[in-house]
């Protein structure tokens, strides 16, 4: 199952093309399901359309920022994409849009961040007599060209480099960096080791929690007490990575499975008091999983511990 990606562009779209060609490799972990632009004339739209990728264009002219972003968001959602990749998208994004795609939106910037945010990055690097320039892929946050860096490539500056000659070489580095970084990033979301580590962080953040191995499964419980979370990886070769949590009973279990039969299922051998939540569908909301784990912890924690927590939470 490949991760579905929407690419947003405003111009030439050469990074988009690099992403698209890498996606044609059979083992690539992502596919591009939409190329969208705020500029109906963007060259990159023609490339994508000719390659058979769905395209969408909506000019921002005359629209409020949030209204334009909402239209883009709708098109992206319709395409089925669960990741947004900015590739020369020359728009500052509204906080609403950034919040909607938080943790699932990447950008490429032609400098070694945190150096030289904004424009004219190459000229600034040359003027500062930096020995190297480069490019960075980062997660998008509300601040411009900010957010955790996922990957970088350094590009040596030649004595005679101009902003243009340097920009050309940095672009070559970008064409290597972006597909690889994106492919690795989306692969994490289905990688059992990464998913287990995410659960571990959330589960061990619960009071008096510890981890043991139970029937080969990473299992989280209250020290000397009951278990509140298990991670099931490829159980009897089912190919799934899922989190098993304590719930109120058969009714809640049935309601969850009814609401989303792909995501929730009845875990074998665990009975009605537990539900399995798939973690490997590529769209896991970790805040939500954190709440789930806390609820499960509470369901098995001794009263004196939950009372202590309630008192502590009041302050
Ligand atoms: C790239 O240099 C990228 O770093 C920056 O915008 C440029 C886009 O170029 N964010 P292209 O449209 O991909 O050719």
What is residue 99's predicted lDDT score, i.e. its pLDDT?
95
* 182 confidence band (pLDDT: 50, 70, 90): very high
Nearest CA to ligand 1 atom 1: 88
Q: What is the mean pLDDT of the chain?
A: 95
pLDDT at 315 over 80: no
Torsion angle of C-alpha atoms 64, 65, 70, 71, degrees rounded to 10: 70
CA of 16 to the centre of ligand 1 (A): 9
Cβ–Cβ under 8 Å, residues 157 and 128: no
* 1 confidence band (pLDDT: 50, 70, 90): confident
Atom of ligand 1 nearest to the CA of 18: 13
pLDDT tens for each residue of 17-69: 999 999 999 999 999 999 999 999 999 999 999 999 999 999 999 999 999 99
Check if 4 has its Cβ closer than 6 Å to any atom of ligand 1.
no
Smallest CA-to-CA distance from 212 within 231, 186, 194 is with 231
Check if 109 has its Cβ closer than 6 Å to any atom of ligand 1.
yes
CA of 15 to the centre of ligand 1 (A): 6
Check if 14 has its Cβ closer than 6 Å to any atom of ligand 1.
yes
Check if 221 has its Cβ closer than 6 Å to any atom of ligand 1.
no
**Both tokens assigned to 258:** 């009814």
In this structure, the number of other CB atoms found within 10 A of the CB of residue 90 comes to 15
pLDDT tens for each residue of 244-287: 999 999 999 999 999 999 999 999 899 899 999 999 998 899 99
Q: What is the mean pLDDT of residues 94-107?
A: 95
Check if 36 has its Cβ closer than 6 Å to any atom of ligand 1.
no
Cβ–Cβ under 8 Å, residues 71 and 58: yes
Check if 13 has its Cβ closer than 6 Å to any atom of ligand 1.
yes
Smallest CA-to-CA distance from 173 within 187, 190, 196, 155 is with 155
pLDDT at 109 over 90: yes
Q: Which residue in the list 60, 68, 73, 109 is annotated as catalytic?
A: 109
Please state at what angle helix 14-23 crosses helix 43-50, rounded to 10 degrees. 20
Residue to probe by mutation, ligand 1, list 174, 177, 181, 182, most atoms within 8 Å of CB:
174
**Both tokens assigned to 61:** 């002219």
What is residue 282's predicted lDDT score, i.e. its pLDDT?
82
pLDDT tens for each residue of 114-137: 999 999 999 999 999 999 999 999
Sheet holding 149-156, edge to edge: 55-57, 30-37, 3-9, 83-86, 105-109, 132-139, 149-156
Percentage of the residues of the chain whose pLDDT score is greater than 70 = 100
What is residue 130's predicted lDDT score, i.e. its pLDDT?
98
What is residue 217's predicted lDDT score, i.e. its pLDDT?
94
What is residue 149's predicted lDDT score, i.e. its pLDDT?
97
* 307 confidence band (pLDDT: 50, 70, 90): confident
Cβ–Cβ under 8 Å, residues 147 and 141: yes
- Note if 109 is an active site residue: yes
CA distance linking residue 88 with residue 76, whole number of Å: 17
Nearest CA to ligand 1 atom 6: 88
pLDDT at 314 over 80: no
What is residue 81's predicted lDDT score, i.e. its pLDDT?
96
CA of 62 to the centre of ligand 1 (A): 25
Check if 134 has its Cβ closer than 6 Å to any atom of ligand 1.
no
pLDDT at 171 over 90: yes
What is residue 309's predicted lDDT score, i.e. its pLDDT?
81
CA of 39 to the centre of ligand 1 (A): 14
């Amino acid at each position: 199952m490949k991760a579905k990606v929407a690419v947003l562009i405003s111009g030439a779209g050469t990074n988009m093309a690099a992403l698209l060609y890498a996606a044609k490799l059979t083992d690539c972990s992502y596919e591009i399901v939409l190329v969208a632009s705020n500029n109906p004339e963007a060259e990159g739209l023609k490339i994508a359309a000719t390659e058979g990728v769905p395209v969408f264009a909506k000019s921002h002219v005359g629209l409020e920022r949030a209204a334009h972003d909402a239209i883009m968001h709708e098109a992206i959602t319709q395409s089925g994409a669960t990741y947004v990749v900015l590739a020369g998208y020359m728009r500052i994004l509204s906080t609403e849009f950034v919040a909607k795609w938080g943790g699932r939106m990447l950008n490429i910037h032609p400098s070694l961040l945190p150096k030289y945010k904004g424009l004219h990055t190459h000229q600034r690097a040359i003027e500062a007599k930096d020995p190297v320039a480069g490019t960075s892929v980062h997660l998008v946050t509300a601040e411009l060209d900010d957010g955790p860096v996922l990957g970088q490539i350094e590009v040596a500056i030649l004595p005679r480099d101009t902003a243009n000659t340097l920009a050309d070489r940095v672009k070559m580095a970008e064409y290597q960096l972006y597909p690889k970084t994106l492919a690795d990033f989306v692969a994490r979301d289905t990688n059992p080791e990464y998913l287990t580590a995410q659960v571990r962080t959330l589960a061990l953040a619960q009071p008096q929690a510890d981890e043991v191995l139970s029937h080969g499964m990473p299992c989280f419980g209250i020290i000397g007490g009951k278990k509140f979370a298990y991670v099931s990886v490829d159980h009897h070769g089912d190919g799934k990575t899922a989190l098993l949590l304590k719930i109120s009973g058969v009714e809640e279990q049935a309601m969850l499975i009814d609401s989303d039969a792909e995501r929730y299922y009845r875990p074998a051998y665990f009975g009605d008091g537990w539900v399995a939540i798939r973690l490997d569908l590529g769209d896991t909301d970790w805040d939500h999983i954190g709440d789930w784990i806390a609820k499960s912890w509470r369901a098995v924690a001794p009263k004196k511990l939950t009372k202590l927590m309630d008192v502590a939470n009041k302050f």
